[in-house]
C-alpha cells in the first residue's frame, strides 16, 4: 500500500487566531486555555475539571482541514470530538467527528492523534466561525493539553519518502554512575523522535519540500509532520540547519529529509 505523508507549514496553523475559552468545564486560571494555541507546546492549557470543551471563535468563517492534538493527559478511548458550526450552538453541529485517543506506548508516552477533516461529513472549504474540542467523558484527572493544531490547508507530499527511511526515539533522562559502576537514573518524562528519509521526486516535489523546509527556517519555526497517514500520530517538528537538493539528471531530484520532534514532557 502506498504511503501518504502529510505536512503543514507554520503559516497553516490558525488556532492562535481564535479567541479561545472554556465552553463547558472550568478553566484553570494558572494555565489559561489560550495557551493551547500560543505556539508553545510545552506550555499547556488546563481545566480544573475532568470534562470540558474548548471553544475557538474565529470571528468569521475559518477553514480547517487538519486537526491534531498535541501533548495531553487524556485517557485512551476517551470520548473526544472536534466540532464546527456557524453559530455557538452545539445541539447538532454541522461537523462533528471523533478524535481517537490511542493507548500509551510501552514507555508510557501518549500518542498525538490527528484528523483529516476534508473527508468528514459536513466539511466545508468555506469553514466555520466556531470550532469546539469537546471532551465529554470523564478523564482520570483534570484535563491538560499542551497544544492543538488547526491547519487551514491540507498538504501531502507529491512523492513519499523511499524505503530505507529511518525513525528513531531518544529518551531524555539524568544518569549518575558511581565509582563502583552502579547507575542511578532519573526519568525526565521526555521522548523525542527524529525522522531521516530520502525523497526522489521531480520539480513539483522539489518545490513543496523546499517550501516546507524554508518555512521552518531550520529550528526557528514549528510545523506538523505525519509520516504515514495510516497511523494516528502527528509530529510537531523542527528541521535541521541545512537542506540539500541533488539534481541527478533532467527533472529528477533527490532530497534528504531530516526532521526532529519538538521536545516536550508529558503534561
What is the chain's pLDDT, residue by residue, as a tens digit (267 residues)?
567 889 999 999 999 999 999 999 999 999 999 999 999 888 999 999 999 999 999 999 999 999 999 999 999 989 999 999 999 999 999 999 999 999 887 777 788 999 999 999 999 999 999 999 999 999 999 999 999 999 999 998 877 777 667 777 777 778 888 888 999 988 777 777 888 877 777 777 778 888 888 898 878 899 999 988 888 889 999 887 777 777 777 677 777 788 888 876 665
Integer angstrom CA distances of residue 80 from 33, 75, 138, 148, 264: 17, 10, 10, 13, 22
- The CA distance from 267 to 73, in Å, is 6
192 vs 183: CA distance, rounded Å: 22
Which residues are 130's β-sheet partners?
A: 57, 85
Residue 39 phi/psi, 5-degree rounding, is 90, 0
pLDDT at 150: 98
Q: What are phi and psi of 25, to 5 degrees?
A: 80, 180
Closest CA to 8 of 227, 240, 169: 227
Distance (Å, rounded) from C-alpha 176 to C-alpha 153? Answer: 47
| pLDDT for res 241 | 76
CA distance 14 to 235: 17
The pLDDT value recorded for residue 131 is: 98
Alpha-carbon distance 43 to 213, whole Å?
A: 25
Distance of CA 2 to the CA centre of its chain: 22
Q: How far is the C-alpha of 65 from the C-alpha of 152, rounded, in Å?
A: 5
- Asked if 53 contacts 24 with a C-beta cutoff of 8 angstroms, the reply is yes
In what helix (H) or strand (E) does residue 255 lie, and over which residues does it extend? strand 252-261
Q: Judge residue 199's burial from the number of C-beta atoms within 10 Å of its C-beta, 0-12 exposed, 13-18 middle, 19 or more buried.
A: buried
Burial label for 73, CB within 10 Å (0-12, 13-18, 19+), is middle
Give the pLDDT confidence score for residue 50 in this predicted structure: 98
Q: Is 212 within 8 Å of 9 (Cβ atoms)?
A: yes
Amino acid at each position: 500500500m502506498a504511503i501518504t505523508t502529510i505536512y503543514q507549514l507554520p503559516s497553516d496553523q490558525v488556532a492562535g487566531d481564535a479567541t479561545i475559552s472554556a465552553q463547558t468545564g472550568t478553566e484553570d486560571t494558572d494555565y489559561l486555555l489560550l495557551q493551547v494555541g500560543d505556539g508553545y507546546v510545552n506550555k499547556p492549557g488546563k481545566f480544573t475539571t475532568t470534562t470540558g470543551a474548548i471553544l475557538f471563535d474565529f470571528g468569521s468563517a475559518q477553514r480547517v482541514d487538519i486537526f491534531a492534538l498535541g501533548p495531553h493527559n487524556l485517557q485512551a478511548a476517551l470520548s473526544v470530538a472536534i466540532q464546527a458550526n456557524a453559530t455557538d450552538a452545539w445541539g447538532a453541529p454541522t461537523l462533528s467527528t471523533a478524535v481517537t485517543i490511542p493507548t500509551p506506548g510501552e514507555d508510557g508516552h501518549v500518542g498525538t492523534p490527528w484528523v483529516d477533516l476534508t473527508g468528514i461529513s459536513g466539511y466545508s472549504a468555506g469553514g466555520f466561525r466556531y470550532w469546539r474540542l469537546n471532551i465529554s467523558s470523564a478523564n482520570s484527572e483534570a484535563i491538560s493539553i499542551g497544544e492543538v493544531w488547526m491547519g487551514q490547508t491540507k498538504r501531502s507530499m507529491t512523492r513519499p519518502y523511499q524505503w530505507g527511511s529511518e525513525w528513531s526515539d531518544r529518551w531524555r533522562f539524568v544518569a549518575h554512575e558511581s565509582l563502583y559502576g552502579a547507575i542511578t537514573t532519573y526519568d525526565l518524562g521526555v521522548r523525542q523522535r527524529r525522522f531521516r528519509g530520502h525523497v526522489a521526486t521531480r520539480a513539483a516535489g522539489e518545490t513543496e519540500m523546499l517550501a516546507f523546509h524554508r518555512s521552518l527556517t531550520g529550528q526557528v519555526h514549528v510545523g506538523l509532520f505525519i509520516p504515514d497517514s495510516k497511523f494516528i500520530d502527528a509530529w510537531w517538528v523542527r528541521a535541521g540547519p541545512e537542506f540539500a537538493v541533488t539534481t541527478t539528471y533532467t527533472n529528477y531530484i533527490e532530497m534528504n529529509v531530516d526532521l526532529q520532534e519538538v521536545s516536550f514532557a508529558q503534561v
